[in-house]
Amino acid sequence: MLAKIDSFVFDLNNKDIQTISHQLSFGWDKQKRLGSHVYTQRDGLWEENITFTGKLILKSVNILKEFEDMAKEQLPVRLTLGTGESYKITIESLSRSKSGFMKDGKFRYQEFTISMQRYFK
């Protein structure tokens, strides 16, 4: 298992994740002051964002439908990575693009990006 979001498992066989990005954002407010340095103040704790990008090929191109249905519920879910890390997350966005069209209009490739934010409660 490469990653698991709720009951949806991303493995290396049919859900080809090419990259997993993890970003920490630290909130700072800045106030300009005349004749002095900028005053910087922390405005809260950090935010964590996780992004999966990948490419599905041929028969697996419809596999994200189940994931999309789960994401539409807009509920916090559990993300578990193959490294043992586990977080509660919200799915912020899912984007897909299709390419490699054949004569009958079907496509061979589907690239996807899933953006998630760590859920703190």
For every residue of the chain, DSSP letters joined together read --EEETTEEE-TTTS-EEEEEEEEEEEEEEE--TTSPPEEEEEEEEEEEEEEEEEEEGGGGGTHHHHHHHHTT---EEEEETTS-EEEEEEEEEEEEEEEE-TTS-EEEEEEEEEEEE---
Considering the chain, what percentage of its residues have pLDDT values greater than 70? 92
Question: For the whole model, what pTM was predicted?
Answer: 0.76
pLDDT, one tens digit per residue, over 58-113 is 666 667 888 888 899 999 999 998 888 899 999 999 998 888 888 888 888 888 89
